[in-house]
Amino acid sequence: MTHKLDLAFSALADPTRRAILAMLLEDDMAVTDVADPFEMSLAAISKHLGVLTTAGLISQEKRGRVKWCKLEPDALREASVWMQAFGQMGALDLDDFEAFLAAQLPDS
């Protein structure tokens, strides 16, 4: 369990990855569409997507010649339960979390 939490929190520590998660709240996206708003190479975005995939926060699948990214909705449940154990947070409010992630989106 600790390794899984480490991966999730490490992935969430980066603002680019949080912005990517916010984008994926809306719908599945092709990797090239995920990369569009960022001023970095497709290779750099792919590395960020790899971290998110390894942490289980997103999944990626190839459809034809296009690789698509999808948010895994239950991915943060374990982290939420862990944080609740400290009594510092209530249950994960997905509306609040969505607002937080939306605030992380880069200016277009």
Q: Report pLDDT digits (tens) over 36-92.
A: 999 999 999 999 999 999 999 999 999 999 999 999 978 888 888 777 777 655 556
Q: Residue 24 pLDDT more than 50? A: yes
In the chain, % of residues over pLDDT 70: 88
Are 62 and 53 spatial neighbours (Cβ–Cβ below 8 Å)?
A: no
The pTM assigned to this predicted structure is 0.76
Number of H helices, E strands in the chain: 6, 3
What is the C-alpha to C-alpha distance for residues 93 and 82, in angstroms, rounded to an integer?
15
Are 40 and 72 spatial neighbours (Cβ–Cβ below 8 Å)?
A: no
Q: 2-103 — its CATH code? A: 1.10.10.10
Q: Residue 1 carries which DSSP code?
A: -
Residues 6+ apart with CB under 8 A from 12: 18, 21, 57
